[in-house]
Amino acid sequence: MASQVNPPRGMRDFLPADKAKREHAFSVIKRVYRDHGFDEIETPVVEDHARLHAGLGGDNEKLSFSILKRGLGAEALAAAAEGGDAEQLADLGLRFDLTVPLSRFYASHRAELPPVFRSIQMGPVWRAERPQKGRYRQFVQVDIDVIGEAGLLAEVELLSATSRVFAELGLTGCVFRVNDRRILFGLLDHCGFAPETHDRALIIVDKLDKIGAEGVVGELRELDPEAAERLGAVLTEVEPRLAGDGIPLTAEAISAILPEGAAAEGVANLAEIGAALEGSLPEGVELRFDPTLVRGMGYYTGTIFEVAHPGSGSSVGGGGRYDGMIGRFLGQDVPAVGSSIGFERIVDLIELPASTGPEAVALVHDADAAPADLAALKTALVARGHRVRLERRQKNMKTLLARVAEQGFTRFANVRAGERDVDALELRELSA
């Protein structure tokens, strides 16, 4: 095995069939988002090391790849080694998400952008994680964001566009689990958790689907036994509902499951979003309230959501409102909501639809056919709208024809040496 020629760990090469499927998904996503009024932008794949480590990326910061400064000499290396500070060797890093770069982009170009800016970003990001199924060290993210809209219209636009993407890709059965950070914090307050325990409490609540209500309460007791019991009463009621059909995103259903008077602001927000989206969601997409949805990123301030699909063990998308983040770069708070699609994970779920374009033709020619004749025949067929592939005749026709059929060719013609008339070619059916 020539392992030396494999791509770097956790990164992949894509063969033509893989690439075709990825491009299909890519084009569907881009078209739907553009149709919904979002504009595509692009930023560099590297950012300042300091900006990537400004505390906005959560755990992802620790997983970022750093780029060595150019022209480092022996003295600089020695100084860094002596100081024990590898950081001073790197001034740039590969981006680990698209949200930090977008915030920088917006702060930089605000004057040239509309008051409410709707962006599309599609590109690779890097994380130095241990690779496994559905998890890579280089992967593509597709983000849309609405910047400058404080009202929930932003959430509504985001969710309706994103749900349409899943529908157009043929991914039925998607469930959007929605929550609001204010509901989470309101609930913790209401149960009596001290503010300084909130972050730790949320991490525990996030495990509900893995360790169950009892497990969560057990861990929460270490923070505050009494508050843990109060929250446990809520979770015990919530848990079976989540396992069943879920909780609809309506004012009645949300209020019914939460303690009276807890997190009114967040409840109203979600209820309005649910009402606004009713009737405009595509078929096969469900909207559900999930009070245990947390999401890891610390920068979320309001609505948060995650997309689940029965064919994938992990989420295929997610996002939320992060009103404080751009202010970190701009010095002035700008409201923002973002949605990210797990491109690699949905590519694994979709099928490439059969081509509906003009027939693709393989010209199987004798070895002694003149290049000039072949070029002329090929050009003539291309001009007629065909996709054309030249294949030199080989001993095993069966293998050759099976291969071109697999590559999407639907017809083939035998070309003998001296053949120059494209109309004389017999285009025969190629069954896959």
Handedness of CA 69, 72, 75, 81 (dihedral sign): positive
> x/- site string to RNA, residues 128 to 147, per CB under 7 A?
-xxxxxxxxx-x-x------
Judged by CB under 7 A, the residue of 17, 50, 78, 203 near RNA is: 203
- Parallel, antiparallel, or unpaired: how do β-strands 387-392 and 411-415 relate? unpaired
Instruction: Please say which residue, 9 or 19, places its beta carbon nearer to RNA.
Output: 9
Give residues 62-121 in contact with RNA (rule: CB under 7 A).
Answer: 97
Return the number of the residue (143 or 149) whose C-beta is nearest RNA.
Answer: 143
Q: Which residue, 262 or 320, has its beta carbon nearer to RNA?
A: 320
Measure Cα distances from 410 to 165, 380, 386, 432 in Å.
30, 18, 11, 8
Site string for RNA, 390-429 (x = CB under 7 A): ---xxxxxxxxxx--x--------x-x---------x-xx
- Positions in 323-352 near RNA (CB under 7 A): 340-342, 344-345
**Chain residues 289-308 in contact with RNA, contact rule CB under 7 A:** 295-297
Minimal distance in Å, beta carbon 245 to RNA?
A: 23
**187 Cβ contact partners less than 8 Å away, ≥ 6 residues apart:** 231, 234, 258, 259, 262, 263, 291
Q: Tell me the residue length of the chain.
A: 432
Q: How far is the CB of 74 from RNA (least distance, A)?
A: 26
Stretch that binds RNA, among 112-120, 122-130, 148-156, 265-273 (CB under 7 A): 122-130
Cα separation values, 28 from 49, 169, 315, Å: 34, 7, 20
Alpha-carbon span 112 to 425, nearest angstrom: 57
Minimum gap (Å) between residue 211 Cβ and RNA: 8
- Closer CB to RNA, residue 276 or residue 405? 405
Looking at 3-11, 77-85, 253-261, 382-390, which segment touches RNA (CB under 7 A)? 3-11
Minimum CB distance to RNA smaller for 236 or for 414: 414
C-beta pairs of 163-166 under 8 Å, 24+ apart in sequence: 163/281, 163/282, 163/285, 164/32, 164/36, 164/282, 165/28, 165/29, 165/32, 165/33, 165/341, 166/282, 166/284, 166/285, 166/307, 166/309, 166/316, 166/317, 166/346
For residues 266 and 342, which CB has a smaller minimum distance to RNA in the complex? 342
Instruction: State in angstroms the smallest separation of the CB of 38 from RNA.
Output: 18
Identify whether the C-beta of residue 68 lies closer than 8 Å to the C-beta of residue 89. Answer: yes
Note whether 210 binds RNA by CB under 7 A: yes
Q: Which of 151, 215, 313, 358 binds RNA (CB under 7 A)?
A: 313
Q: Residue 214: CB partners within 8 Å, gap ≥ 6?
A: 232
Q: Which of residues 365-394 bind RNA (CB under 7 A)?
A: 366, 393-394
Size of the site for RNA (CB under 7 A): 58
For RNA, the closer of residues 127 and 378 by Cβ is 127
Q: What are phi and psi of 364, to 5 degrees?
A: -90, 110
Q: Which of 45, 349, 380, 430 binds RNA (CB under 7 A)?
A: 430
| Binding mask of the shown chain, residues 7 to 26, with x at each position contacting RNA by CB under 7 A | --xx----------------
Segment interacting with RNA (CB under 7 A) among 40-48, 55-63, 65-73, 272-280 = 55-63
Determine which residue in the list 90, 102, 285, 316 makes contact with RNA, applying CB under 7 A.
316
Question: What is the C-alpha to C-alpha distance for residues 337 and 273, in angstroms, rounded to an integer?
Answer: 13
The amino acid occupying position 284 is G
Angle at which helices 181-191 and 264-277 cross, to 10°: 150
Shortest CB 134 distance to RNA, Å? 6
CA distance 22 to 93: 26
Binding site for RNA (CB under 7 A): 1, 3, 6, 9-10, 58-60, 97, 127, 129-137, 139, 141, 203, 206-207, 210, 295-297, 313-318, 340-342, 344-345, 366, 393-402, 405, 414, 416, 426, 428-431
